[in-house]
Amino acid sequence: MDLQLSGRVAVVTGASKGIGLAVTRTLLEEGAQVVAASRGSSPELDALAGPDLVHVPADLTDPEAPGLVVARATEVFGGLDILVNNAGGPPPGVSLPRMSFLTPTDDDWRAMFEFNLFSAVRAIRAAIPAMLARGGGAIVNVSSGGARRPAPMNVDYNAAKAGMNNLTKALSEEFASRGIRVNTVSPGPVRTAWWTEEGGAADILAGVTGTDRDTVMDDVAPEMMALTTGRLVEPREVADVVALLVSPRSASTTGADFAVDSGFLKEI
């Protein structure tokens, strides 16, 4: 299927690894020009270097950073058609999961919302005028299955992502008539650095369950989260859905939430 993305300009946040890296790679493969934003680059992102990729170092918890990233896209590639708000998860220096509502402090809540909601709000605020100047565009906000399945674990993260879902619906209502579509993709547990890095979710759960990192990812987590497929999601699987949603082939899809979660979300 031709996704008709050749020559379109995209900003992808959190692009150096995990889902963001997979989205960046997929959009480049489909012919898009990509501004990849992240605090630092990575060998995997560097390997994608070429005339259609620009990396912008940015700490997206800085209120000025999202606007500067969007401005860089218009400066280098002449406009903006696509925004993928992928940056999120544990704020810098934080390890998840947290097991109880009583664990995060006020500062923890603020940091979680800055990274997982407010950075997207600011990026969207900067992107909409640039998209309107091109006659429209597509925004995908990367949310989480936890936004629709509340639980005591990671309660601050889930609340921020629930806000993301609400924001997406509101934006889709306001801007669809002006050519901007806004959707969410809600992954379940994805085999990314959040899980795999030392001190990450797999190590934390291994300590709780008395197992090891690989056993958590291969067996414990899929069973604990009742994943129908029996395995964690791969980043490319999320990226493929994002690419379809930002494509003109999805011209009638807006205000929707797509679960890519190995069957985590059971509710209708």
What CATH number does the domain containing 37 carry?
A: 3.40.50.720
Number of domains in the chain: 2
Same-domain pairing of 42 and 115: yes
Helices (H) and strands (E) in the chain, counts: 11, 7
Residue 30 CB partners (closer than 8 Å, separation 6+): 3, 5, 6, 243, 247
Give domain status of residue 113, yes or no: yes
Do 119 and 222 share a domain, yes or no? no
Report the 10 Å Cβ neighbour count for 118.
18
Instruction: Clarify whether residues 21 and 32 are in a common domain.
Output: yes
Domain membership of residue 266 (yes or no) is: no
Is the residue at 267 inside a domain? Answer: no
- How much is the pLDDT for 148? 95
User: Rounded mean pLDDT of 176-186?
Assistant: 98
Average pLDDT, the chain: 96
Strands 33-38 and 137-142, bridge-based pairing: unpaired
243 and 3 in contact (C-beta within 8 Å)? yes
Kindly state whether residues 223 and 116 are assigned to the same domain. Answer: no
How many beta carbons lie within 10 A of that of residue 227, not counting itself?
Answer: 18
Using CA atoms, how far apart are residues 77 and 7, in angstroms rounded to an integer? 9
Q: Which of 70-74, 75-79, 94-98 has the lowest mean pLDDT?
A: 94-98
Quick check: is 4 in a domain? no
pLDDT at 170 over 90: yes
At 268, the pLDDT band (50, 70, 90 cuts) reads confident
Residue 72: predicted pLDDT: 98
Q: Is residue 155 in a domain?
A: yes
What mean pLDDT do residues 50-54 have?
Answer: 98
Q: Is 268 inside a domain boundary?
A: no
Residue 196, domain extent: 192-232
Pairing of strands 33-38, 9-13: parallel
Residue 49 binned pLDDT confidence (cut-offs 50, 70, 90): very high
* Catalytic, out of 77, 118, 157, 195: 157
Statement to judge: residues 154 and 240 lie in one domain: yes
What pLDDT is recorded for position 151?
A: 87
143-162: average pLDDT: 95
What was the pLDDT predicted at 146? Answer: 95
In the sheet that holds 257-260, the strands lie side by side as 53-57, 33-38, 9-13, 82-85, 137-142, 180-187, 257-260
pLDDT at residue 150 tops 90: no
Q: Is the pLDDT of residue 237 over 90?
A: yes
**At residue 194, does pLDDT exceed 90?**
no
For residues 185 and 196, membership in a common domain is answered with no
Structure tokens at 249: 């082939």
Section 166-170 average pLDDT: 98
Question: What band does 230 get if pLDDT is binned at 50, 70 and 90?
Answer: very high
Look at residue 59 and tell me whether its pLDDT is greater than 90: yes
Instruction: For 166, list phi and psi in degrees, rounded to 5.
Output: -65, -45
Strand partners, 38: 57
Q: Specify the pairing of strand 82-85 against strand 53-57.
A: unpaired
Average pLDDT over residues 30-57: 98
Write out pLDDT tens, residues 6-26.
999 999 999 999 999 999 999
> Do 197 and 185 lie in a common domain?
no
On whether the pTM is more than 0.75, the answer is yes
Q: Do residues 208 and 135 both lie within one domain?
A: no
- Domain check: are 36 and 113 in the same one? yes
Domain co-membership, 196 together with 135 = no
160 in a structural domain: yes
Same domain, 140 and 249: yes
Q: Is 3 a catalytic residue?
A: no
Report whether 29 contacts 242 (CB < 8 A). no
Whether residues 134 and 29 share a domain: the answer is: yes
Tokens standing for residue 30: 């489909």
23 is a domain residue: yes
Partners of 83 in the β-ladder:
11, 139
The amino acid that residue 253 corresponds to is T
CA distance 56 to 127: 16
